[in-house]
Amino acid sequence: MTIENRLIKYTDLIPCTSAFIDTRSPGSDKKENFTLIGPGVAENPEQHVHISIPHGFNIGGARQPGGCLNSQHSHLTEEVFVVHSGTWSFLSGVNGDDGKIILNEGDIISIPIDIFRGFENVGEDIGYLHAVLGGDDPGSVLWAPQVFDLAKEYGLVLLEDGSLVDTTLGEEVPAGKKPMPVTSTEQIAQHRVVGSEELESIVQRTESFLWSKNSKLAQFDGIEEVALVGPANDAEGLPESKLNWSHNFVVRGLKLANNAKVPAHVRFEEEVVFVHQGQVEIEVDGETLLLGKGDTFTTPIESTRSFSNPSELDCILYITRRHDTPKAAKFI
């Protein structure tokens, strides 16, 4: 795969508007789902996968207009969201009434596997969430019971194999296949009841980011780094994050002032760069790419890379790396 093919421009994202069982339900019918890296959890085989290379985690996205809701569900692996744009309400509980928390641009939330969650863009403009799901195969979505009822009313049936049947198109459940059983009381009981106050414990807000000049990457002028997801890592010179439990991936924030540069170095794990603010020029093995706001790039393992900020605005990157304690960067 060429370097250019590892870049996913925000303007080139290919959405799926029928990725899940709730995509016809009133209030949820305007959402766009994206699978950027890895297979994702979409129930529609037509969902476009931008990059299929296994990373040990999946990168996805959700774009929703104001008032659009993603219905209550849970996952088999950790789910991390970065609020790229918009104002978002995250709701806990099988009926979405256990707890509620509002996140703004730049905030990050990590939702454990045993919590039913839904999220709504409560702003007026279109909002976008950058998402990280653990594992090469994050498994299927477990939906709240009421989601099945609404889906059936609007012509969608979820099968046990995780695929969708659209009865409005004349489709029928294929021979030998069965509808997905509605989520049981026993399954619901395996999830925690989490109120609004406890939801705050799984959130990092931008105003509380502990930007540091002491990490291995931040030893250069104009560079700051913050641990957002994952335990302490002495190799990288980073303390534990507030979201310090095992995800088998970490998320870092990297800030570059105007003309700041992280010089040539090598990484030994998968590294996905998401541009939250500004621009970044990335040079990889002698080739240069310019990334803008909302763009995503996955850097080949053991390639030589450098980052620089050519714009006057501070550049803020959210970077996901494989493993709980990635190896330190090796500077060339």
Q: What structural domains does the chain harbor? A: 4-204 (2.60.120.10), 209-331 (2.60.120.10)
Q: Which amino acid is at 215?
A: S
Burial class (CB in 10 A: 0-12, 13-18, 19+), 59: buried
CA–CA separation, 118 vs 309, rounded Å? 36
* Residue 92, phi-psi category: left (phi > 0), alpha (psi -120 to 50), beta (remainder): beta
> Binning pLDDT at 50, 70 and 90, where does residue 125 land?
very high
| Structural Rg of the chain based on CA atoms | 20
User: For position 138, what pLDDT does the model report?
Assistant: 87
Whose structure tokens read 């477990």? 142
- Which H or E run contains 198? helix 196-199
Q: Which amino acid is at 159?
A: L
How confident is the model over 5-34, as a mean pLDDT? 91
CA–CA separation, 38 vs 137, rounded Å? 8
CA–CA separation, 33 vs 19, rounded Å? 7
User: For position 27, what pLDDT does the model report?
Assistant: 85
C-beta separation of 76 from 138 below 8 A? yes
Please write the tens of the pLDDT for every residue from 255-312: 999 999 999 999 999 999 999 999 999 999 999 999 999 999 999 999 999 999 999 9
Phi, psi dihedrals of residue 214, rounded to the nearest 5°: -105, -5
What the block records as the tokens of 27 is 């209030």
CA–CA separation, 105 vs 82, rounded Å? 8
- Which H or E run contains 150? helix 145-153
Q: Which amino acid is at 51?
A: I
Please write the tens of the pLDDT for every residue from 186-217: 999 999 999 999 999 999 999 999 999 999 99
Q: Residue 254 forms beta bridges with which residues?
A: 225, 317
> Binning pLDDT at 50, 70 and 90, where does residue 16 land?
confident
Q: Which amino acid is at 61?
A: G
User: For position 239, what pLDDT does the model report?
Assistant: 97
Pairing, β 49-51 against β 32-37:
parallel
C-beta separation of 135 from 60 below 8 A? no
How confident is the model over 101-106, as a mean pLDDT? 98
User: For position 180, what pLDDT does the model report?
Assistant: 92
CA–CA separation, 163 vs 291, rounded Å? 35
3-state secondary structure of 308: strand
Q: Residue 60 forms beta bridges with which residues?
A: 35, 131
Show Cβ contacts of residue 172 under 8 Å, excluding neighbours closer than 6 positions: 165
Please write the tens of the pLDDT for every residue from 26-64: 888 899 999 999 987 767 777 899 999 999 999 999 999
Degrees, nearest 5: CA angle 56-62-68:
150
